[in-house]
Structure 1
Amino acid sequence: MTAAGVPGPHRRRGPWRPAPPHGAGAAAPGAPRPFGRSREMDRTIFAVTVILLALGIAMVFSASFAKAMDDAGDPFYFLKRQLLWALVGVPVMWLFSHIEYRHWRQMARPALYSTLVLLVAVLLIGAARGGAERWIDFGFFSFQPSEWAKFALCIFFADHFTRVGPQVRDFRRGLGPWLLVVATVSGLIMLQPDLGTTVAIGGMAVLMAFLAGARIQHLLALGALAVPALIVAITQSEYRWRRITAFLDPWADPQGTGYHLIQGLLALGSGGWFGLGFGLSRQKIWYLPEQHTDFILAVLGEELGLLGTLTVLALYAVLIWRGFRTAATAPDTFGALLAAGITSIIAIQVVVNIGVVTATLPITGITLPLLSYGGSSLVVTLAAIGILINVSRHCPQ
C-alpha cells in the first residue's frame, strides 16, 4: 500500500478512485503529489458560489422584511445578520482555499471530538426553538453544532478510509469504526431532535464508504437494518407521523398539517414563467411559514418565476458537477474522498430542500445551502467550499 493509503497496482481497487496526475515526472498511479506550488483554483466553483451567495442575501431580505418588521420592528433585521455572516464566511472561504487540503488530515480526530462535545453540549445547555434544541446561544450569536458535524465528518471519513485503504472491504477493520461514528453522531442529533440532518449525514457517509470501496453487500445489509429504525423513529413521533400524512394528502388538513406544503405550492404556482417581480411575493406575508429559511425557494419561485427557479437549479447543478469532477481528478485518495463528501452533503441538502418545497418529499428541517437564512449553515458551507476549492487547485487541468 502506498503512503496515502491508496492500494498499489497489485492490489484490488475499489469501484472508484481519483485520477493520478499526468505529465512528465508524475508520481506512480495512486500516489499523492508532494506538497508544492498549486495550480489555479476552479473558477467555476468560486463564481457559482458567489452568485448563489449574492442571490441568497437578496432573497433573504425579500422573503423576511415583513416578518422582520413584525418580529423585531426593523425590516432589515434578518438582512443585516445574514450580511454579517457573509462577511465572516467569505474571508473564511478565501483562507481555507489557500490552506493545503492535506493539512486537514491532522484535524480529522480533533474535528470528530469537537463534534461529539458540541452535540452533547447542545443537549445540556442548548437553546430551544420550535420544539428542538439545536443551538448553543452565546448571547450575541448562536451556533448550530449539527452544521459543523456535517463537514467535520467529511474530514474524518476521508482520513479514515484513506488509512484503511483496501481493508475497507473487511467489515471489522473498514466499516466497523465508520459505523460506530455514524451511529453515535446520528443518535446525538436525533435527540435534538433533527431527522433531516441525520438523513443527510447518513447519505453522505454511505456515499463516501461506497466510493472508498466498501462491499455493496455490507452497505445493503446496514441499509436493511436502518430502515426499521427509521420507521420506528417516524411512527413513534406524533409530529413526524403528521408530516408523513400531510405529505401523502396535504388537503386533508389544509389549515393544519398540510398548511406548509399548500402555501409553498401556491407560492411556486403563482410565479408563472417570469414571476411577480422581486419583493412582490404575496405568500411570504403571513401565509408561508419559514419563508426565509426552509421555504425560501418558494418565495424565489413566486417572485422570479419558473425561469428564475430553473436558473438557480442550474447553478446548483454546476456547483455539484464541478465538485464531483474535482473529486474524480484529485491527486490522492484523501483529496478525492474529501471533495466527494463535501459535494455530496451540499447535493443532498439541495435535493431534500427542493423536494420538500415541491411536495415530492415530506417536510424536514433542511435549509437550502447559500440561499437560506442561517449563520451557522452559511459560514460552515463557505468554509467547506473553500476546502473544495483548494482540492481543485491540485487537480490536473
Structure 2
Amino acid sequence: MIILLMVVMLTCFGVVMVYSASSIMAAKKFNDGFYFLKRQGIYALLGFGVMAIAMQVDYHVWRRVAVPVLLACLALLILVFIPGIGGTAKGASRWIRLPGFNFQPSEMAKVALIIYMAYSLDKKQEKLKEFMSGFLPYMVILAVLLAILLKQHDMGAALTMGAVALAMLFAAGTRPRYILGMGVLAAPFACYLVVTEAYRMRRITAFLDPWSDPTNSGFQIIQSWLAFGTGGIFGQGLGEGKQKLFYLPEAHTDFILSVVGEELGFIGVMVIAAMFLLLIQRSIRVAVGAEDNFGRFLAFGIAVLLGLEAFINMGVVTGMLPTKGLALPFISYGGSSLIISLFAVGMLLNVSSRMRGTP
C-alpha cells in the first residue's frame, strides 16, 4: 500500500531529522541531547497506534458522530483561553496543558471540519448550488471557527482550514462564483488583519524584503536561505549542518526542511517533495474511487489538508510565502500535528480498503 508506505517512511525520516535538528539545543536547554528525539519517538508510536485503530474503524462511523465531534473541537478551541487550562507561547494561545504534553486543538479541528463537511455535503448534495441553503451555512460555521483561530493568533491554521473548506465545496459542486465572491469579500478583511497586527505586518515585510531587517523579522528566512545554499545539490551530510547550532530559529519544528536542505541537499528536499506528491496523488485516487460520496469527500478533504500543509511549509522555508507557523506533516517536531495527521491517514486508508484494488 503506497499511501501507508509513504507515511511510515516520512514519519520515520522525521524522527531522525528531529534528532539531527534538535540534539545540540536539547543538550543545552534540557541537559539531554535525546530530549526531543525521545518525545518525537513516543508521538510517532502513539500516532501509528491511532492510525492502526482508525484503519480498522469503518469510516461511516465518523458520519454518525460528525456533528458531536465538531462541537467538541469547538469547545476545545475555546478552552485554550481559560487560565490554568490553556497555554500561551510567543503571544499565541493555542494549547491545552496536559501532564507532560501540550495539545493543540486546532489540529483536531481541521480534521473535525473535514469529517463534518463530508457528512453535510453528502446530505445536502441537491442544495449545494443554492446560496442561502447550500453555501451560506458553511460560511457561517467556517467564520466561527476562523474567528476563534485568529483570536489565538493562528493565521496559518485559519488559512488552511478556510482553503480546505472551499476546496471541498468546489469539489462537491458549489457554484464557482460563490467561492470567488467569498474570496473577493475576504481579501479586504485579510488586509485589515495584517495591517492592524504589528507581528503580521513584520512577517509581510520580511517576506517582501528580509534584508530590510536582517537581525529581526528577516533573520529566520535569511538563515533558512543560508541553510539551503550551504547544502547545495548533495548536502553536507546527515548531522553535519551548522544552521541548527542556534542560528536558525525553529530548526526542529516549522523550519526542519531547511535542515534537510543543508544536510541532504537539493536532492534530499526533492525526494521529500516527490513523496508528498505521490501521497497526495494516491489520496486523490482514493477519493475518486471511494464507494460513496461521504468517502469521496472525506478522502478528498484529507488529501487537500496534507497537501496544503506540506507545500505551504515548503513555500515558507524557501521564502516563496510569508511565515505562517505551519508544521511540515509527519516530519516537523510536535505531537498534536503528528498524531492527528496519522489519524487522518488511518481514516483515508479505511476508505481505500473499500475500493477495488489498493492505492
Category of TM-score, reference length = shorter chain: over 0.9
Residue aligning to 2:229: 269
Alignment of 1:266-345 (within 5 A): 266-345=226-305
Aligned mates of 2:171, 2:179 — CA distance in 1? 12
Query: Are 1:75 and 2:4 an aligned pair?
Result: no
For 2:315, which of 352, 355, 361 is the aligned residue?
355
Residue aligning to 2:16: 58
Aligned mates of 2:2, 2:302 — CA distance in 1? 16
Which runs of 4 or more aligned residues in structure 1 lie more than 4 Å from their structure 2 counterparts after TM superposition?
none
Deviation, 1:50, is 0.5
Residue aligning to 2:193: 233
Aligned mates of 1:174, 1:342 — CA distance in 2? 22
SS in 1 for 2:81: helix
Q: Any idea what the Cα deviations from partners look like across 1:92-148, whole Å, max 9, x if unmatched?
A: 101101111111101100111011100110122311111111110113211000000
RMSD (CA atoms): 0.8
Aligned mates of 1:352, 1:93 — CA distance in 2? 24
Q: Any idea what the Cα deviations from partners look like across 1:305-349, whole Å, max 9, x if unmatched?
A: 111111111100100100111111111110000000011011111
CA contact (8 A) 1:166 1:213 kept: no
Q: Any idea what the Cα deviations from partners look like across 1:256-277, whole Å, max 9, x if unmatched?
A: 1100100001001111111111
Q: Any idea what the Cα deviations from partners look like across 1:184-221, whole Å, max 9, x if unmatched?
A: 00000100111111000000000000011101111111
Residue aligning to 1:8: none
SS in 2 for 1:137: strand
Deviation, 1:396, is 2.3
Query: Are 1:90 and 2:48 an aligned pair?
Result: yes
Query: Are 1:149 and 2:106 an aligned pair?
Result: no
Identity of aligned residues (%): 43
The one-letter code matched in structure 1 to 2:239 is: G
Query: Are 1:365 and 2:335 an aligned pair?
Result: no
Where structure 1 has 5 or more consecutive residues not aligned to the other structure, the ranges are 1-42
Aligned mates of 1:241, 1:165 — CA distance in 2? 40
Residue aligning to 1:38: none
Residue aligning to 1:161: 121
Deviation, 1:175, is 1.4
Deviation, 1:179, is 0.9
Alignment of 1:211-226 (within 5 A): 211-226=171-186
Aligned mates of 1:288, 1:376 — CA distance in 2? 23
Residue aligning to 1:112: 70
Structure showing greater radius of gyration is 1
Deviation, 1:375, is 0.2
SS in 2 for 1:361: coil
Aligned mates of 2:66, 2:92 — CA distance in 1? 28
Aligned mates of 1:173, 1:93 — CA distance in 2? 35
Residue aligning to 1:18: none
The one-letter code matched in structure 2 to 1:287 is: Y
Aligned mates of 1:173, 1:160 — CA distance in 2? 12
Where structure 2 has 5 or more consecutive residues not aligned to the other structure, the ranges are none
Q: Scaled by the length of structure 1, what TM-score is found? A: 0.88
SS in 1 for 2:246: coil
Aligned mates of 2:106, 2:75 — CA distance in 1? 11
The one-letter code matched in structure 2 to 1:118 is: L
SS in 2 for 1:128: strand
Aligned mates of 1:391, 1:231 — CA distance in 2? 39
